[in-house]
Every structure is written in structure tokens, then in C-alpha cells.
Amino acid sequence: GAVVSQHPSRVICKSGTSVKIECRSLDFQATTMFWYRQFPKKSLMLMATSNEGSKATYEQGVEKDKFLINHASLTLSTLTVTSAHPEDSSFYICSAAGRTGLAGGPGYEQFFGPGTRLTVL
Amino acid sequence: GDSVTQMEGPVTLSEEACLTINCTYTATGYPSLFWYVQYPGEGLQLLLKATKADDKGSNKGFEATYRKETTSFHLEKGSVQVSDSAVYFCALISTSYGKLTFGQGTILTVHP
């Protein structure tokens, strides 16, 4: 399957600082990337959908000014957690939508990055 | 809207036991169905998928059959191993938007 990387894999920061997480699709062009947040022992919560060259679409309840998403190229999307606080501590996972077929049809799937563990002190 | 319901966990089994994790869904149209696995501290890996009714997805000894009549996609394995211990997520994509809808996840622990 396709490879999606995330950097950093783990970050610890002080309250009030901003943290940037990168998501890269290494061997295919991803017009759409997704950002998820996962709490301990919980399922993934979709935060936003990022389309190359346009503004991200945020899910209800997700603060767009808090979680800044940029998708400047077909292989890179970034999530910046601004003025991070301890309640932002979580596991953040990105995925890239593969253009192997029509979206939703055979061969279409999302390829997930390994995740970034954010701890805000 | 779309939804996925998985059997409640956690599930604890002895090695070589049979596994079934139930998954049912609600969606418009004809969704594609997926099982993802998450090992401790890692992201999600696609385990198997099925894109139309009666398709059977299989991988690493795991199987799931797309049952449109019962709107189900139960995950099965005949003989589990300790290395299968992980969290398993059932999911679907039903629109051209490509947005995944996840179940709540089922924690599986396999003891030697």
C-alpha cells in the first residue's frame, strides 16, 4: 500500500506554544488529506478535511483558529496546534486519500500515517 | 447519516481460539467497508476491505464478508495469535467525498 509519514512522531511542549505536525504522502499524490484526533482507548475523531490548494473543511466543534491546516502541495499537509494547552494533548493521525479509483468506489481508500503523540505540559 | 457499530470490548482470548468481532453499519447507497488494525502506539493499518455485496476481504488469516441483507461486516479469524493483540476498527466510505466513518474500536488481547 501507499506510504504516509508524519513528523514528529512525538512532541512535548509547554503550554502556550504552537506545534506543527507534518503529514506527507511519499509515493502518491493526495488531493485530499484528513486529520484525526484520538483519545486514549477511543476511536478516531475526524477534525478536518484538507484539500490541496483550498481551505480545509472543519468538523463541527473543531476550532479552525486553534487547529490551522495547510495543504500546500499534493504530498504535504500540516496541522498547527496554536497556543497549545494540556487539554490538546492527544494522538493526532493524518491520512491521505489514494487516487486509485473513484472516491468511495473500488480501489479508493485512505492511507494512514503512524500518528503524532502530543503532550502539552 | 452514516454510522458503524462494533461489538463492545475488550475481548480477551487464549492463543488459538476463534475470534469474531461484530460490525454493523448504516449508510446510504453502496458503501465500501474496511477493517483497520492499530497496534499499541502506532497509526492505523488497513487489514482488509470489501467494496460490494458478498465480497469477502481476507488478510493474515482474518476474513470479513460484506452482507448487504444484514448490513454487517463481521471480522473472523479461526486461530488467533498473541501478535494479533491490537485495537480493531470497522469503517465505511459511502460517498464520493471519501470520508471514513469509524466504529468505536474493539480492543483484543490474546494470552499465550
pLDDT in tens, A48-64: 998 888 889 999 999 99
Verify whether the Cβ–Cβ distance A34 to B104 is below 8 Å: no
**Of B42, B52, B100, Cβ closest to residue A110:** B100
Over residues A90-99, the pLDDT tens digits come to 999 999 886 5
Specify the higher pLDDT residue, A2 or B77: B77
pLDDT score of B20: 97
pLDDT tens-digit profile of A76-121?
Answer: 999 999 999 999 999 999 998 865 554 455 556 788 999 999 999 9
Question: Which residues in chain A have their CB less than 8 angstroms from residue B36's CB?
Answer: 112
**Taken in order B12, B14, B15, B21, is the CA torsion positive or negative?**
negative
- Tell me what percent of the residues of chain A surpass a pLDDT of 90: 61
Handedness of CA A112, A114, A118, B3 (dihedral sign): positive
Closest CA to A28 of A96, A112, A102: A96
Among B34, B97, B102, beta carbon nearest to A43: B102
Question: Which chain B residues are Cβ-neighbours of A95 within 8 angstroms?
Answer: 44, 100
Per-residue pLDDT tens over the stretch B76-103: 999 999 999 999 999 998 765 678 889 9
pLDDT tens-digit map of A19-36: 999 999 988 788 789 999
Q: How far apart are CA B18 and CA B96, in angstroms?
A: 36
Provide the shortest C-alpha distance from residue A103 to chain B (in Å).
5
CB atoms within 10 A of CB A76: 16
Residue reference for cell 504530498: A75
